[in-house]
Structure 1
Amino acid sequence: MSGDEINRVTLISPYALSVFGGVQEQVLAMSRELSRRGFEVQVLAPDDSDDSLLDTPARVVRLGALVSVRANGSRAPLTLSAKASRLASAHVRDFAPDVVHFHEPFAPRLGWGTLRAHRAAAVATFHRSGTGPALSLTRPLLRRWVRHLDVCIAVSRQAADTARSAYGVDPLVLYNGFETDRFTQFPRESSATLTLVVVGRLEERKGVATAVTAVRDHNALGGERWRLVVVGEGPERASLQRLANADPAIEFLGALSDEDKRRWYRRASVVLAPATHGESFGLVLLEAMAAGTRVVASDIPGYRDAAGSHAVLFSPGDAADLERAIATALGSRDDATIRGAREYAERWSMRQLVDEYVAQYARAREIYRPGVA
């Protein structure tokens, strides 16, 4: 264990842990790494009654009925229960953490009561990139709540710009991290078929329609066929299946366990990240690189930040340009390119990220003054 006088940490996720998403992945991975270091970790999240993704030794407390709310071009699996907010505060008091770490502190509603009533140093991580009407309406109230935060962090430059504009804070940028070793624990599975994999929620902004169109059109030409495997679930699944036009090379596997997703990263010839907007940081790109797989990504700010020079980029929403990028990536899978991308991905290991966060926890403890919350 490290961190001056820090033994207990509470992590608060406004989103259900069983639903695939970047915030949830960060919370669970951080809980595992902190626990590995000897910290006592409590995780608060909405009550989804699904243990399938709770791969963590931390103490998980789930509160409040789950609802799906449209936000930032996506569907957010959160709770709107005022009672859950009050119960969260009670659970935090009973656990008596040294630091409360809020992920998306102003997302409704689990952290709201805790934010105002906690009695510990408070660290906030802002994930969101982009604002909307709801954020504009609540900005005056949320800016008053900022005083309850001792240290503010953003996961990208875009997320920092949003937090600065919306809440008047100037966050430190710490890019998301991940457990790099978990992406090499399975052997690579070679196949004669060129396999493209998309992992993510099936909603419009994720751009899966662009991938389906590109593969469908390529296969219709009659040359070497590409297989597209879509991992994830969401409201666009039926329309995407219609778009595939019964092409047997396009498969929809639905939601899979974290382990199975990592296996598909290792099976893939190329991993596609075709989101059109709203991605503050492209962790999926780095996960694929760590797995030793070539990456094709849409040319949007969050993905550019993550990819460096190690992905083939294409114009968002442009199926023809995606087809070009896939062909380029398939032709550049040499050992040196794959090794360089894997070494690059190691910069974002969860070990290094938690080192940074533990230092910020200590800083928050120095800043925190009881009675201000």
Structure 2
Amino acid sequence: MRVGIVCPYSFDAPGGVQFHVRDLAEALMARGHEVSVLAPADDDTPIPDYVTSAGKAVPVPYNGSVARLTFGPRTAARVRRWLAAGEFDVLHLHEPATPSLSMLALWLAQGPIVATFHSSVVRSRALQAAYPLVRQSLEKLSARIAVSEDARRTLTEHLGGDAVVIPNGVYVDAFEDAPTDPRWTGTPEAPTVAFLGRLDEPRKGLQILAQAVPTILERFPGARILVAGRGEQGREDAVAAVGPHASALEFLGGISDEEKAALLSSADVYVAPQTGGESFGIVLVEAMSAGSCVVASDLGAFRRVLDDGRAGVLFPVEDPQGLGRAVVAVLEDTDRRAALVAHAHEWVRQYDWSTVTGQVLAVYDMVLAARAAAGRVHEDPGALHDGRPGLWPRLVGDARREGGAR
């Protein structure tokens, strides 16, 4: 099967969606499928051979974070050429309601189209503004996937329709088998507590963790708080919040995938103090896979990933004292911590790519079977929709002219 995957967000600063796209592509290729990924990336950004760069992206504030996107007539021309060259059996778009590569591909493509929705928001002006652009185009989708019930709710409330829930995937064994690192391994007197995330994004909750540090140190004066992620301003703000206890914070900066696995395997506790905007919680699954005990904000998405608190400890959102008490409780009660880790070890298997890939392939098979049953002839995936007046934005016409001129 020839599969085209469109990632809306740039590989220059990869996050959850980019990692999901990368891992899905590699999981599909491991099963013998041909996969091509289209994503934004600067010329000097290293990308895998199966990724085609759609050009430089620009940062856009979105959902409490910063999304790096590319859009416009020139980008549309690149999308059109990629679609035409790929001749995909299935086109898989991620976040097609975001003004991005995925939205352009939805406008331009024909044939079986699957879309995955990742975002979870209570109310989104961005989605409301984008809806008129994609309302009719969404009817072209053969199937919709949401990575969680939270993402599914956002889809149904903002865009209508429904979706099957297929979670984000993790290579569980890679984290389970990761070696510990002596630099990050704790002791009963000096346990290690890990945090991973973009330090400059308030919703990742580093400030909540910083304010919890005195509560942790009161019981475990030797505790070390290991903070991985980029963001100089976030680092400075965290140090200021901790004050005289700043020496307990150890900033690791950006770390590689291998270092991340080693960190999660080494730490006694992994904390996820996010304040909102989370649709799943992939790093929680990674931490559970690595054998770290998870303490997380009681967000709906996190509660589901942690099996309602049976695979980790939940504390009230934006409650530093609650976070501190929760960390102290699991550090003090080694039997409870071991029980949580043991349950998490079994629970995370449902998120392994061996399971998730099979679920995605079942969706692909379903849309291909439905198309065959309808007796439709497979169309050129790069062909433009003939459209009705006003349906396609002017940039699609510009893309046609630019693409034909080259």
What does residue range 65-214 of structure 1 map to in structure 2 within 5 Å?
A: 65-130=56-121, 131-189=123-181, 190-192=185-187, 193-202=190-199, 203-214=201-212
Would the aligned equivalents of 1:282 and 1:307 in 2 still touch at CA under 8 Å? no
Q: CA deviation at 1:78?
A: 1.7
User: d(CA) in 2 for partners of 1:10 and 1:207?
Assistant: 35
Would the aligned equivalents of 2:37 and 2:51 in 1 still touch at CA under 8 Å? yes
| Unmatched runs of 5 consecutive residues or more in structure 1 | 1-6
What letter is aligned with 2:225?
A: L
2:37 to 24, 33, 43: 43
> Which residue does the alignment assign to 1:4?
none
Q: CA deviation at 1:138?
A: 2.4
1:60 to 26, 48, 51: 51
> Which residue does the alignment assign to 1:351?
354
Q: Secondary structure at the match of 1:102?
A: strand
Would the aligned equivalents of 2:98 and 2:130 in 1 still touch at CA under 8 Å? no
User: d(CA) in 2 for partners of 1:231 and 1:146?
Assistant: 38
> Which residue does the alignment assign to 1:324?
325
What letter is aligned with 1:245?
A: G
Bigger drift between 268-277 and 86-95 goes to 86-95
Q: Secondary structure at the match of 1:97?
A: coil
Would the aligned equivalents of 2:219 and 2:328 in 1 still touch at CA under 8 Å? no
Would the aligned equivalents of 1:215 and 1:226 in 2 still touch at CA under 8 Å? no
1:28 to 11, 22, 29: 22
Would the aligned equivalents of 1:179 and 1:349 in 2 still touch at CA under 8 Å? yes
Normalized per residue, the structure richer in helix is 2
> Which residue does the alignment assign to 1:14?
8
What letter is aligned with 2:276?
A: H
Q: Secondary structure at the match of 2:153?
A: helix
TM-score of the aligned structures, taking structure 2 as reference length: 0.84
Q: Structure 1 residues 301, 50: CA separation in 2 closer, same or farther (over 3 Å shift)?
A: farther
User: d(CA) in 1 for partners of 2:12 and 2:222?
Assistant: 34
> Which residue does the alignment assign to 1:228?
225
User: d(CA) in 1 for partners of 2:42 and 2:238?
Assistant: 26
Would the aligned equivalents of 1:93 and 1:118 in 2 still touch at CA under 8 Å? no
| Unmatched runs of 5 consecutive residues or more in structure 2 | 386-406
User: d(CA) in 2 for partners of 1:195 and 1:133?
Assistant: 40
Provide the alpha-carbon RMSD of the alignment: 2.0
User: d(CA) in 2 for partners of 1:170 and 1:222?
Assistant: 48
Would the aligned equivalents of 1:86 and 1:114 in 2 still touch at CA under 8 Å? no
What letter is aligned with 1:319?
A: P
- 1:215 equivalent to 2:218? Answer no
What letter is aligned with 1:256?
A: I
> Which residue does the alignment assign to 1:274?
273
Q: Secondary structure at the match of 2:247?
A: coil
TM-score of the aligned structures, taking structure 1 as reference length: 0.91
Q: Structure 1 residues 266, 66: CA separation in 2 closer, same or farther (over 3 Å shift)?
A: same
> Which residue does the alignment assign to 1:291?
290
> Which residue does the alignment assign to 1:365?
368
Identical counterparts, % of pairs = 35
Would the aligned equivalents of 1:176 and 1:281 in 2 still touch at CA under 8 Å? yes
Would the aligned equivalents of 1:194 and 1:269 in 2 still touch at CA under 8 Å? yes
Q: CA deviation at 1:259?
A: 1.4
User: d(CA) in 2 for partners of 1:137 and 1:113?
Assistant: 16
What letter is aligned with 1:22?
A: G
Would the aligned equivalents of 1:198 and 1:271 in 2 still touch at CA under 8 Å? yes
Bigger radius of gyration among the two: 2
Q: Secondary structure at the match of 1:107?
A: coil
Number of residue-to-residue matches in the alignment: 363
Q: Structure 1 residues 231, 48: CA separation in 2 closer, same or farther (over 3 Å shift)?
A: farther
Would the aligned equivalents of 1:20 and 1:200 in 2 still touch at CA under 8 Å? no
User: d(CA) in 2 for partners of 1:358 and 1:117?
Assistant: 23
